[in-house]
Amino acid sequence: MPQYVYRFSEGSKDQKDLLGGKGANLAEMTKLGLPVPPGFTITTEACRAYMRDGHVPPELRVEVTMAVREIEDTIGRRLGDFHEPLLVSVRSGAKFSMPGMMETVLNIGLNDASVKGLAEFSGDERFAWDSYRRLIQMFGKTVLGIDGEHFAHTLDEKKRTAGAATDIDLTAEDLKELVAEFKAIVQEDAGREFPQHPREQLDMAIEAVFDSWNTERARLYRRRERIPNDLGTAVNVVTMVFGNLGDTSGTGVCFTRDPSTGHSGIYGDYLANAQGEDVVAGIRNTLPLAELETLDKKSYDDLRQAMRRLETHYRDLCDIEFTIERGKLWMLQTRVGKRTAAAAFRIATQLVDEHLITMDEAISRCTGAQLSQLLFPQFDGEAERHLLTKAMPASPGAAVGEIVLDNAQAIERTSAGAKVILVRRETNPDDLAGMIVADGILTARGGKTSHAAVVARGMGKCAVVGAEELDVDRVSGEVRINGTVLHAGDTIAIDGSSGEVFLGEVPVVDSPVMIYISSGLEAGLAAAEDEATKELVHAIDRVLGHADDVRRMRVRANADTAEDARRARDRGAEGIGLCRTEHQFLGDRRVYIEHVVLAEDDEARLAALEELLPLQRTDFVELLDAMDSLPTTIRLIDPPLHEFLPDLTELAVKVALAKERGQVEERDVKLLAAVQRMHEQNPMLGLRGVRLGLKIPGLFALQIRAIAEATVELRKAGKNPLPEIMVPLVGSMRELQIVREEAVRILAEVGAAAGVTLDLPIGCMIELPRAALTAHRIAEEADFFSFGTNDLTQTTWGFSRDDVEGAFFADYLENGVLTISPFETLDADGVGALVVSGVTGGRSTKPHLHMGVCGEHGGDPESIHFFHDAGLDYVSCSPFRVPIARLEAGRAAA
């Protein structure tokens, strides 16, 4: 039989799964000898049993009785007693904090009789009736489901008729009347009496806390924060202590150090003669905590002492809820405090300097996600700006552009070179075309899992959603925000990190952290405007430096041009994991591809390819020069050739029109025939990658020769180019074998002509399930593997990324099929299993086979940890994410 109830003296901070965060920390504080009111925690297991069976386990009732009696005996007061009643609070507390999501009820145990006992025993009638009205109010709202507005409204009315400025000005008589009115509301709205029996109150409150786990908003919150739905919440029953017992009492919240800079000091708020939520509810103005020293020196000193105790014990910034009852301090809650991204780095290094944690611990406390927030460009804080509204920040970044209201406008304006912000009430899959070309997205509806938010994050595009004050009128073409009327073409600026929307142009600048990453410490410090930002830059330098020291995986970048390569190198990339060569066939060079496609015989085709050779060689010379001495993986051409040819429909129309005029060109007719011939229903699964290389003789040979000649040229110039040749979309060992034989021949030929040995590594992408499953065979022909997790995700799920992401991912997230897009974070169970199979297979043939990943997952924090565990040698990601990958690879190894 499981134990459903734990006394505070029994638990510890490591039992968050069972006792929830609040319960585990109350137990820990009790163990530390801090003044925690007596109490106990009902486990999450009891909640799970309740959710499964539809009623609380019978044993729970018995265990609660025993635990309550123990408290009663310890402090010599009884629940519901007419003279000296014991009161308790019933508080929710899940493993992960879900602020404001779940319920707490204070003052359980008061009824028409015990309220008089409380008045007598405390000597404060006003206080007793204030506590009672709070109980009915909270119980009515959270347990009986009555609209809180009814109570709030009646309270306001009472204050008005009594001429009371705030709630503490209400007299005992006022409060007695209020209690009667509140009871009437309960009778009216809930159709039952306010329960007088304390144990009934207690049991109902416990069940209400269990139920609060499954409210709509709690489920929504968990979906957003990716917290599993089946954990359940614990319930804490805590002896009430009273901050509302006059001026020598009060309640407050504090931090053990400044939550934004990490500096130690006195940070918090205090409110005299108040209970519970009053501090945060903003009912009256709070005092800065430091002023408590003059009000009540003893409690203040005790609190300082407790703060130091906690910080030493947790070795981290803690936040604390406390109450003072007639000059006696009580601790009601603590936890390791939430913090901003910047604060995470500052606090971690600050604690290292105080010798409270090691550098390994410091990097475990600073995440790649936090670092990435600090890297986004930001609006120039100095610039003048006109705030229109503030909504939900859904996808970070800063974007400025003209308002466009639909796809057509978006495409028209961007083709004319404008930057645009797509403004919609909400988006749906039909808006995808507009979203793709827009610089930013702004919607009036929807939250962080709305279509706009999900798709924008997937595209790495700045988005602000749920701007309630925004009115998008498609009929009149007007956009109204808080009295300002705008039209398509007007400029706005949106901040995806803060949710702010500005009118007109706002200049965008690199963040000081970004400047530090790309140009070094000196430059970063120079860009920092204040002391706090300088400290931040220093902190990041130390944290990243340590991550670089401890990580096992190398970090490379995906870069196609010499310019991108240099940028990646500046940011700490240790090579290129993926250079796509398709850009080398675009622009002016499209005509050569036309020649290749239209060639009537082998000779003509080879001649056409020959024209491309010098161009490609120059590209590779520049790239390899930029990456001198660092490994550079060059992928042979991957996309279907028709992607480089004119669009089928456009060309067909052109030819038809020309025919009508009787001036059709022979070349266009041929080209149209070729395009028709090459048209594919499903190009993603069609003639591309290695298939193309085998089908069109000379195509891969051209690229390999260009790489070989570029290498020779650079070596002659005394450089150290380190190219690696990578074959895409391999599914069978034989495919790679054929390409490899040809490559070896070309390398030997070019090498012989130049009098050097060219044994460049030749490897392949593992991006098809079949490749992952037959990796032991493929490894016979490969010098390295690079996992292409984008294609591997598409082919494992059977998802065509471009088609499905905007179409139904928002629904899939909503109904829980997915918790996050598998294109954002690697699907460890499915795609990850294939990666592991590829690694194991490859290394069973060649124990030291070099392996990396070059899909977008290479820059995703969670996926990076997976790749570390899987044993990969490196990750490769976009240059922007290189610092994030460095940090996460370090965290994975530390």
Catalytic sites, residue numbers? 451, 854
Does 30 help bind ligand ADP (rule: CB under 6 A)?
no
Q: In terms of CB distance, is 277 or 570 closer to ligand ADP?
A: 277
The residue assigned the tokens 């006394």 is 7
Residue 767's binding partner among ligand ADP, Mg ion, none (Cβ under 5 to 8 angstroms by kind) is: Mg ion
Report d(CA 42, CA 262) in Å as an integer: 35
Smallest separation (angstroms) from Mg ion to the CB of 756: 32
Cα–Cα nearest to 557, from 577, 572, 571: 577
Q: In terms of CB distance, is 82 or 797 closer to Mg ion?
A: 797
Smallest separation (angstroms) from ligand ADP to the CB of 237: 9
Cα–Cα nearest to 376, from 422, 341, 346, 418: 341
Q: How is residue 57 written in tokens? A: 């386990």
Report d(CA 673, CA 765) in Å as an integer: 33
Q: Which of residues 450-489 bind ligand ADP (CB under 6 A)?
A: none
Instruction: State the CB neighbour count (10 A cutoff) for residue 9.
Output: 11
Does 104 help bind ligand ADP (rule: CB under 6 A)?
yes
Site size for ligand ADP, by CB under 6 A?
A: 15
Binding region for ligand ADP (CB under 6 A) out of 138-146, 175-183, 237-245, 303-311: 237-245
Q: Select from 20, 37, 262, 524 the one that contacts ligand ADP (CB under 6 A).
A: 37
Residue 824's binding partner among ligand ADP, Mg ion, none (Cβ under 5 to 8 angstroms by kind) is: none
649 is an annotated ligand-binding site residue: no
Q: Which helix or strand (DSSP H or E) is residue 713 part of?
A: helix 699-716
Report d(CA 834, CA 826) in Å as an integer: 11
Does 333 help bind ligand ADP (rule: CB under 6 A)?
yes
Residue 240's binding partner among ligand ADP, Mg ion, none (Cβ under 5 to 8 angstroms by kind) is: ligand ADP
Q: Which helix or strand (DSSP H or E) is residue 519 part of?
A: helix 512-519
Binding region for ligand ADP (CB under 6 A) out of 234-242, 261-269, 609-617, 801-809: 234-242
Residue 323's binding partner among ligand ADP, Mg ion, none (Cβ under 5 to 8 angstroms by kind) is: ligand ADP
Does 793 help bind ligand ADP (rule: CB under 6 A)?
no
Name the residue with the smallest CB distance to Mg ion: 791
Contact between 706 and 760 (Cβ < 8 Å)? no
Report d(CA 833, CA 827) in Å as an integer: 9
By residue count, the chain amounts to: 894
Does 212 help bind ligand ADP (rule: CB under 6 A)?
no
Q: In terms of CB distance, is 5 or 690 closer to ligand ADP?
A: 5
Contact between 364 and 344 (Cβ < 8 Å)? no
Q: How is residue 338 written in tokens? A: 């939430």
Does 240 help bind ligand ADP (rule: CB under 6 A)?
yes
790 is an annotated ligand-binding site residue: yes
Report d(CA 142, CA 209) in Å as an integer: 8
Smallest separation (angstroms) from ligand ADP to the CB of 391: 25
Residue 332's binding partner among Mg ion, ligand ADP, none (Cβ under 5 to 8 angstroms by kind) is: ligand ADP
Q: Which amino acid is at 875?
A: V
CA distances from 307 to 34, 297, 335, 347 (A): 10, 15, 11, 16
Does 130 help bind ligand ADP (rule: CB under 6 A)?
no
CA angle, 352 then 11 then 264, to 5°: 25
Report d(CA 880, CA 849) in Å as an integer: 28
Q: How is residue 417 written in tokens? A: 């070179």
Q: In terms of CB distance, is 209 or 371 closer to ligand ADP?
A: 209
Q: In terms of CB distance, is 332 or 578 closer to ligand ADP?
A: 332
860 is an annotated ligand-binding site residue: no
788 is an annotated ligand-binding site residue: yes
Report d(CA 836, CA 743) in Å as an integer: 29
Q: In terms of CB distance, is 319 or 713 closer to ligand ADP?
A: 319
Does 241 help bind ligand ADP (rule: CB under 6 A)?
yes
Contact between 543 and 342 (Cβ < 8 Å)? no
Cα–Cα nearest to 356, from 260, 261, 262: 262
Smallest separation (angstroms) from ligand ADP to the CB of 104: 4
Q: Which string of x and - marks every residue 254-293 that binds ligand ADP (by CB under 6 A)?
A: ----------------------xx----------------
Smallest separation (angstroms) from ligand ADP to the CB of 516: 37
Does 510 help bind ligand ADP (rule: CB under 6 A)?
no
791 is an annotated ligand-binding site residue: yes
Residue 853's binding partner among ligand ADP, Mg ion, none (Cβ under 5 to 8 angstroms by kind) is: none
Report d(CA 619, CA 6) in Å as an integer: 69
Does 122 help bind ligand ADP (rule: CB under 6 A)?
no
HSE, CB side, 13 Å, CA atoms: give it for residue 640: 16
| Binding footprint of Mg ion on the chain (CB under 5 A) | 321, 333, 767, 788, 791
Report d(CA 428, CA 240) in Å as an integer: 50
| Residue 311 Cα to chain centre, angstroms | 27
Q: Which amino acid is at 31?
A: K
Contact between 35 and 328 (Cβ < 8 Å)? yes
635 is an annotated ligand-binding site residue: yes
Q: In terms of CB distance, is 219 or 654 closer to ligand ADP?
A: 219
CA distances from 121 to 116, 191, 434 (A): 9, 33, 69
Contact between 314 and 504 (Cβ < 8 Å)? no
Does 321 help bind ligand ADP (rule: CB under 6 A)?
yes
Q: How is residue 441 written in tokens? A: 């997205």
Does 795 help bind ligand ADP (rule: CB under 6 A)?
no
Q: Which of residues 63-92 bind ligand ADP (CB under 6 A)?
A: 89, 91
Q: Select from 206, 235, 332, 371 the one that contacts ligand ADP (CB under 6 A).
A: 332
| DSSP state letters, 173-203 | HHHHHHHHHHHHHHHHHHSSPPP--HHHHHH
Does 299 help bind ligand ADP (rule: CB under 6 A)?
no
Q: Select from 106, 359, 506, 726 the one that contacts ligand ADP (CB under 6 A).
A: 106
Q: In terms of CB distance, is 241 or 792 closer to ligand ADP?
A: 241
Smallest separation (angstroms) from Mg ion to the CB of 595: 26
Binding site for ligand ADP (CB under 6 A): 37, 89, 91, 104, 106, 238-241, 276-277, 321, 323, 332-333
The binding site comprises: 580, 635, 767, 788-791
The binding site for Mg(2+) comprises: 767, 791
